[in-house]
Structure 1
Amino acid sequence: MTGPNWERRLYLTAHPFAYPLLRGLARCGPAVRVPGLGVVVNDAATAREVLLDGETFRKDGPGSPGELWTPVLGPSVLLNMEGAAHRALRRRLTDLFTPGYAEDLCARVLADPLHRLAADLARGAEVDLVAAMKVLAGAVICRVVGLAARGEDDYRRFFEQGERVVAMVSLRTRRLSPRQIARARAVLDPVGEIAARAYAAGDESTVMGRMRALGLSEEEARGAAGAFFLTGTETVATLVPRLVALLHDHGELDRVAADPGLLDRALDEASRVTTPTPVMLRSVHATTRVGGAAARPGDRVLIVTHNCCRAHGPFDLDRPPELRRLWFGAGPHFCIGYPLAMAEARLIARTLLAAAPLEIVRRRAARGVLLPAYREFTVRAAPRAGE
């Protein structure tokens, strides 16, 4: 099966009803009002206009991410803030994940597990990248929040705790039920305690220690740790197997393996096609128009980022850069963890590409997930020509 068909299969398996609806709405123009859903945005330029206007379109009103996550994370995280308070917190966090720091952190944390991954591939073993990514992404998030994990089992368990919380959300979810909030808090409150201890220790080699040095309060550090825990694991864990699949299915894997300078372009293009955040939500706070559709205070705006990005065509490694990484947001809410996510994905991808040529042994799509993903994606190193 070709790459684009496998991507469609992942989306249909994860969202068998919502995905066909959202793709069908892509044919209705830049924006369309849908009863029961809100104003649906399908166009990248319109989406950017909404994302850049934090006064009219906010993350802290009805139908927004704030309504979903504030009961779990508290009021002071970037996911659910706007205005002066958001700008002040964002300024203090600007230097948290600089590219250099993110690359150094990932290199230190992932050195041992990536060495084992490379050794497994080198001896011809079959490697399930889905299982491997749980360990690798879990290792990074453990270091970010300050958990002194004792090995791969701890990394995997920590990752799977976050996975269970995110799995409560679907593309249709407006708010969590009291029971879901209690279940999420049971996972996230201990994460906050871990972060608070790392914050109190003040070690600036840790992310929580850096937050303290940057002037954040303990409450803000706890909230940020919870947000990173929820958003910073599955994004990379789902992207890397899909990156390898897209490169393989489009005949580009060996090309990128032979030319490491193409890797960043491949990461951007795979991110566009897979769209780490397939839908972004905003709440309307003033009467306006969105791409020609009327919007009133209290309305919900669904930016179907997937439609915006896929309108620019199928996976193409030679496509000129465009969209300015819309899949990670825009303006004041552009993902602050982007440098860390890319540093992690880049380092893992380099290890995999070093073992090329790779062949896909088995793959299955995952059900019951928010981010479309493989349930299993097993690869092994194929013999090189002449061996």
Structure 2
Amino acid sequence: MNHETRLYLAAHPFAYPLMRLLARLGPVVRVPGLGVVVNDAATARRVLMDQRFRKDGPGSPGDLWTPVLGPSVLLNMEGEAHAALRAKLAPLFTPASVAALVSDVLAGPLKDLEVRLAAGERVDLVDTMRLMAGAVICRVIGLGEVPEERARALFADGERVVSMVSLRTRGLNPRQVAVAREVLDGIGDIASAAYLAGDPATVMGRMSELGLSEAEARGAAGAFFLTGTETVATFVPRLIALMHDHGAQDADLDRAIEDAMRVTTPTPVMLRSVSVATKVGNIDVRPGDRVVIVTHNCARAYGPFDPSMKHPTELRRLWFGAGPHFCIGYPLALAEIRAVARVLLDHRVRVVGRRAARGVLIPTYSELWVRK
């Protein structure tokens, strides 16, 4: 059994074997009590590109996040309102903008990492990434430069909310909603203060400058907080472990990142709600039906980690979505990943210890120790 499979089994000991079993049942299969399950990349992409499959209907992500974030964030919007909000936010996530932000925020932490590696220290990459991802999201929501303790605490808050969700979760119960609102109201208050200050050097200040309302800025901050921290923090240790385990430290970094994302699948499952009677593959679906895209099955059908593999069109970055809902924060995530991975690979780190995390939504390591 490889390390990636161990991570999934540690995180989802019952759901993961079921998920892999579903892959054997065909490209599209109706599962009573679950929905119409998609295991094929080409079919998944067609669903994600089709406006008849929505994020705001029954059984969709809206059921999870609308009670917490409200109805007007990119995670649960459709149509013209979604397109308009996305257009307002897009200038904040150009490659140049995010590269400058990451370079500024991570200059100190990356220098510290270089010094520790050069000295031959053992470094827990999981803890390191919590700090770095926390620092970046602090800057995005409007906190500016913060001490390490604050960055780690903010990351822990996000982890507390995301850990309420499993692969089987359809909605949050009232207690979970209350806890999530408490955390996200605090994030919203920070974002509002930065928005009202209006400093164009900050992300929230630029939102004001770009014409977003205060409510839109608060919602965006909450959505970025939920989706942007754990994705990066969990991925970098898995990327370095994959490159180490496959002897691929000299592979092209961008190709290695792309294929490691395929193997790790940052979003292992995506949900959509059917709004108009149609077909998914050869299966008839009706309004209100739930479509479960098992992104992990779609991606893993193309084999084990291989940085030399060219991804076919239907697969390309499917784990970040497709069409109007392709992840707007992808350039920021990629900039963070590149910045940290370059330092680690420049120092030719090797994995000297690891432990899988349990009870998490995104499979990851609880510890991954590296040394030059």
TM value normalised by structure 1: 0.94
CA contact under 8 A between 1:138 and 1:155: conserved in structure 2? yes
Which residue does the alignment assign to 1:340? 332
AA in 2 matched with 1:336: I
CA contact under 8 A between 1:144 and 1:206: conserved in structure 2? yes
The answer for unaligned runs of 5 or more in structure 1 is 257-261, 382-387
1:148 Cα deviation (Å)?
A: 3.9
1:150 Cα deviation (Å)?
A: 3.2
* Partner Cα separation in structure 2 for residue 228 and residue 109 of structure 1: 16
2:55 is aligned with 1:59: yes
1:336 Cα deviation (Å)?
A: 0.1
* Partner Cα separation in structure 1 for residue 90 and residue 347 of structure 2: 36
Which residue does the alignment assign to 1:370? 361
2:37 is aligned with 1:37: no
1:324 Cα deviation (Å)?
A: 1.9
Which residue does the alignment assign to 1:384? none
Which residue does the alignment assign to 1:231? 227
- Give 1:120's match in structure 2, choosing from 113, 116, 119: 116
1:149 Cα deviation (Å)?
A: 4.9
* Partner Cα separation in structure 2 for residue 150 and residue 342 of structure 1: 22
Give the alignment's Cα RMSD to 1 decimal: 0.9
CA contact under 8 A between 2:56 and 2:76: conserved in structure 1? yes
* Partner Cα separation in structure 2 for residue 368 and residue 140 of structure 1: 25
CA contact under 8 A between 1:149 and 1:155: conserved in structure 2? no
AA in 2 matched with 1:308: C
* Partner Cα separation in structure 1 for residue 231 and residue 146 of structure 2: 24
The 5 Å alignment of 1:1-387 reads 5-54=2-51, 56-253=52-249, 255-256=250-251, 262-322=252-312, 323-356=315-348, 358-381=349-372
CA contact under 8 A between 2:135 and 2:146: conserved in structure 1? no
* Partner Cα separation in structure 1 for residue 223 and residue 62 of structure 2: 12
Aligned length: 370
Q: Percent identity?
A: 68
TM value normalised by structure 2: 0.98
AA in 1 matched with 2:317: R
1:231 Cα deviation (Å)?
A: 0.3
The answer for unaligned runs of 5 or more in structure 2 is none
What secondary structure, in the 3-state scheme, does the structure 2 residue paired with 1:375 have? Answer: strand
CA contact under 8 A between 2:105 and 2:145: conserved in structure 1? no
AA in 1 matched with 2:45: R
1:359 Cα deviation (Å)?
A: 2.1
What secondary structure, in the 3-state scheme, does the structure 1 residue paired with 2:352 have? Answer: strand
1:321 Cα deviation (Å)?
A: 3.1
